[in-house]
Chain A
């Protein structure tokens, strides 16, 4: 059974930093691209970032480019999102999501989602 478990969400001041983690199990982690998707309170879904199975190819939404860094440790079956220069508008539940293929293909979908971790940016 595929399981994705996010952690690391917290309350942080504007301009601060936070690192999210997503522990994966139930599948061969290194064989699949992974993404982060966020959902502001009471709002819709927004794709944030993605990377390939090896981690060698990364992609970012314009809203986070230059501030967030996605990475993975395939030896630990864990996905990360380093978030710097946080803003109030980054407040959201952050979900990690699995792709059905090795390479990130913008035209494909998320086949499994974690339960999410809440990031609140406020003074």
Chain B
């Protein structure tokens, strides 16, 4: 059971917009800790996609955007493309777990 809760899967047609939620609690997201997002393409290592809730590293398309409110965060992908089919993970910090960074369980995005 992951500390942060994500839907197991979401899907959309090419060009559509999909969102992935990441729900936490008062000891992590709700306590004000930043949320970060990673993309893991099949058979590869995770890659940083969004940091500090809504910031994109250099090279990440602006089709990807992040937001945070209360005890939850969201990742949005607009103009969905075939190459976006991957697993997506949110990550934050939990003050009840002695220094631990915590992840969501991951969301598989399928492009129909």
Q: Which of A's residues lie within 8 Å of B, judged by CB?
A: 35, 37, 44-47, 50, 59-62, 95, 100, 104, 106-116
Contacts and interface: CB of A to CB of B under 8 A. Distances in A.
Contact of A62 (B38, B97, B103, B105): B97
Contact of B101 (A47, A100, A113, A116): A47
A62 B34 CA distance: 22
Contact of A45 (B46, B47, B57): B46
Interface in B30-50: 33-34, 36, 38, 44-48
9 contacts: A44-B104, A45-B91, A59-B100, A95-B45, A104-B99, A106-B99, A106-B101, A108-B36, A116-B45
A100 B58 CA distance: 14
Nearest to B95: A106
Contacts of A107: 33-34, 92-93
A45 B106 contact: yes
Interface in B18-76: 33-34, 36, 38, 44-48, 51-52, 57
Contacts of A108: 34, 36, 51
